[in-house]
Chains A and B, each alone.
Chain A
Amino acid sequence: MSLQRVWSLFRKDFALGPRKPFFLFAVVMPVALTLIFQVAFGSLFEPKPRLGIVDEGGSEITAAVRRMEGVTLALLDDTGELKRRVQNNDLDAGLVLPPGFDAAVRAGQRPKLEFYIGGESLASNRIILSVTAIDLIRGVAGLEAPVTVETVRFGEAGLPVAIRLVPLIVFYALVLAGVWITGSSLVEEKEKSTLAALLVTPARLNEVYASKWLLGFVFASFMAAATLFLNRAFGPRPLDVLAVILVAAALNAMLGLLVGVLSKSSTTLFTLIKGAGIFLFAPVIFYLFPDWPQWIARIFPLYWIIEPIWQVSVMGEPLARVWFELAVAVAITAALVPAIMLVERRMKA
Chain B
Amino acid sequence: MTEPAIKVKGLSYWYGNLQAVKNIDFEVFPGEILGFLGPNGAGKSTTIKVLTGQLRPMGGAAQILGFKIGAEDPELQAQIGVCFEEKNLYLEMSALENLDFFASLFGIKNANSLEALRRVGLADRAKDRVSSFSKGMRQRLMISRAFINKPKVLFLDEPTDGLDPVTAKEIRKTIKEEAARGAAILLTTHNMFEADELSDRVAFINEGEIVALNTAENLKLKYGKRSVRVRLRDGDDVREEHIPLDGGGSSARLAALAASPDLLTIHTEEATLESIFIRLTGRGLAG
Interface 9-residue window, one of A62-70, A196-204, A218-226, A317-325: A196-204
Q: Is the CB of A202 within 8 A of B106?
A: yes
Residues of A within 8 A of B149 (CB): 201
Q: Is the CB–CB distance between A16 and B92 below 8 Å?
A: yes
The answer to whether A192 and B88 touch across the interface, beta carbons within 8 angstroms, is yes
B84 within 8 A of A: yes
A199-B105 contact given A19-B92, A194-B89, CB 8 Å threshold = no
B88 A193 Cβ-Cβ under 8 A: yes
How distant is the Cα of A12 from the Cα of B72 in the complex, in angstroms? Answer: 23
Complex CA gap A229/B154 in Å reads 53
Indicate which residue in B54, B72, B82, B105 contacts A5 across the interface (CB closer than 8 Å): B105
Q: Does A4 contact B (CB under 8 A)?
A: yes
Q: Which residue of B lies closest to A195 (CB)?
A: B88
Could you say which of A15, A20, A192, A201 contacts B105, with CB atoms under 8 Å apart? A201
Prevailing SS type, chain B contact patch: loop
Say yes or no: is B80 at the interface (Cβ < 8 Å to chain A).
yes
B90 within 8 A of A: yes
Q: Are A8 and B52 in contact (CB under 8 A)?
A: no
Q: Given A5-B105, A8-B101, are A201 and B92 also a contact pair (CB < 8 Å)? A: no
Residues of B within 8 A of A2 (CB): 74
User: Chain A at the B interface: mostly helix, strand, loop or mixed?
Assistant: helix
Across the interface, name the chain B residue whose C-beta is closest to A349.
B56
Most A CB atoms within 10 A — which of B78, B104, B107? B104
Bound complex: CA A8 to CA B111 (Å) = 14
Q: Tell me whether B243 is interfacial, beta carbon within 8 Å.
A: no
CB-defined interface of A6-17 with B at 8 Å, one 1/0 digit per residue? 001100100110
Shortest CB-to-CB span from B123 to chain A, Å, is 22
| 12 cross-chain CB contacts under 8 A | A4-B104, A12-B93, A192-B91, A193-B86, A193-B88, A196-B84, A196-B88, A197-B82, A202-B77, A202-B78, A203-B77, A203-B105
Interface on B for A, CB 8 Å cutoff? 52-54, 56, 72, 74-75, 77-78, 80, 82, 84, 86, 88-93, 97, 101-102, 104-107, 145, 149
Q: A8-B101, A12-B101 are in contact. List 4 more A-B contacts (CB 8 A).
A: A194-B88, A197-B102, A200-B77, A201-B77
